[in-house]
């Protein structure tokens, strides 16, 4: 089954109207592969602005975080309904920075995921191990635990994209080799098959998200279970176009 190549750009807490306009215009003007889906995830204040700049059908916009309720007394949180209302289609949930810096646990992330999907958003669901967990040899155990929390809540995985992001590789310049990523992604697909069935496992896109950049993405090109990338810092740079076109 052919899975559409998927590239997410997580701007994190970076950007201005000027820089975001430059990023989107580069993509609008570039010749992009037809078989690629691009999701740009700017900081929340720029969601509507970013969506207004996009000129290509294959490019959409996503939020970096949402809450478990549509509205109410939740100061500082992002509502899925409001995110959708300003033109976004996706949300990143479970990112390692939300797990580690903001202490979001598996259960809360799973609840956020279910609510976002129920409201009609697509979810980029992030999983991955820390350096200590990698050294301890428990990478797959950690990923399985994080996935199982979502599996317990989510029954329809049509609009879920899984992003494997080794925490030790984010922002460090380190990255898993393409071979290592393929092995882990294949194991994750087997887990999805065991829990959700072969059809869901084969349909679900699994992205690599550990310091993917213009220099290393070509090495992933022939990896059958690497269906794209969740890109951090490189999504702010001109090389992001090369990453989007790395399967051309």
Asked whether residue 124 is assigned to any structural domain, the reply reads yes
Residue 208 lies in a domain: yes
- Where in the sequence is the domain holding 129, given as residue range(s)? 84-244
Cβ count near 173 (within 10 Å): 9
Mean pLDDT of the region 114-134 = 96
For the chain, percent of residues with pLDDT exceeding 90: 89
Q: In the annotation, is 95 catalytic?
A: yes
Whole-angstrom CA distances from 109 to 93, 147, 212, 219 are 7, 10, 24, 31
pLDDT reported for residue 60: 98
With a CB cutoff of 8 Å and minimum separation 6, the contacts of 57 are: none
Instruction: Determine the Cα–Cα distance for residues 37 and 122; give it in Å rounded to an integer.
Output: 13
Mean pLDDT of 77-105: 97
Domain count, the chain: 1
The answer to whether position 51 is within a domain reads no
Q: What is the DSSP string of 192-245?
A: HHHHH-HHHHHHS-EEE-SS--TTTGGGGTT-TT--EEEESGGGGSTHHHHHHT
Domain at 125, CATH number: 3.20.20.70
Question: 13 lies in a domain?
Answer: no
Would you say residue 146 lies in a domain?
A: yes
163 backbone dihedrals φ, ψ, rounded to 5°: -120, 115
> Do the domain assignments include residue 22?
no
Instruction: Tell me if residue 25 is catalytic.
Output: no
- Annotated catalytic residue, options 37, 95, 104, 185: 95
Q: How confident is the model at residue 1 (pLDDT cuts 50, 70, 90)?
A: low
Q: What is the pLDDT of residue 171?
A: 73
On whether residue 134 sits in a domain, the answer given is yes
Lowest-pLDDT range of 126-135, 142-151, 227-236 = 126-135
Q: Among 97, 111, 165, 185, which one carries the catalytic annotation? A: 165
Cα→Cα distances 62→35, 113, 121, 148, 169, Å: 19, 14, 9, 24, 23
Inside any domain, residue 106: yes
């Amino acid at each position: 089954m052919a899975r559409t190549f998927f590239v997410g750009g997580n701007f994190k807490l970076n950007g201005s109207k000027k820089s975001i306009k430059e990023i989107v215009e580069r993509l609008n003007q570039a010749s992009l592969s037809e078989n690629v889906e691009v999701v740009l995830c700017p900081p929340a204040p720029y969601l509507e602005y970013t969506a207004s700049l996009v000129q290509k059908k294959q490019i959409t916009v996503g939020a970096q975080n949402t809450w478990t309720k549509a509205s109410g007394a939740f100061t500082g949180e992002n509502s899925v309904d409001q995110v959708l209302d300003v033109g976004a289609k996706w949300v990143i949930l479970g990112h390692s920075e939300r797990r580690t810096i903001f202490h979001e646990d598996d259960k809360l992330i799973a609840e956020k995921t279910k609510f976002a999907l129920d409201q009609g958003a697509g979810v980029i669901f992030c999983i991955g191990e820390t350096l200590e967990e990698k050294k301890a040899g428990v990478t797959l155990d950690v990923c399985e635990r994080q996935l199982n929390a979502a599996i317990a809540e989510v029954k329809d995985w049509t609009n879920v994209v899984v992003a494997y992001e080794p925490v030790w590789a984010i922002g460090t310049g380190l990255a898993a080799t393409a071979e290592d990523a393929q092995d882990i992604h294949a194991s994750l697909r087997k887990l999805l098959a065991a829990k959700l069935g072969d059809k869901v496992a084969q349909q679900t896109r699994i992205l690599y998200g550990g310091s993917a950049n213009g220099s290393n993405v070509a090495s992933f090109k022939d990896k059958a279970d690497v269906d794209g990338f969740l890109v951090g810092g490189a999504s702010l740079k001109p090389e992001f176009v090369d990453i989007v076109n790395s399967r051309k």
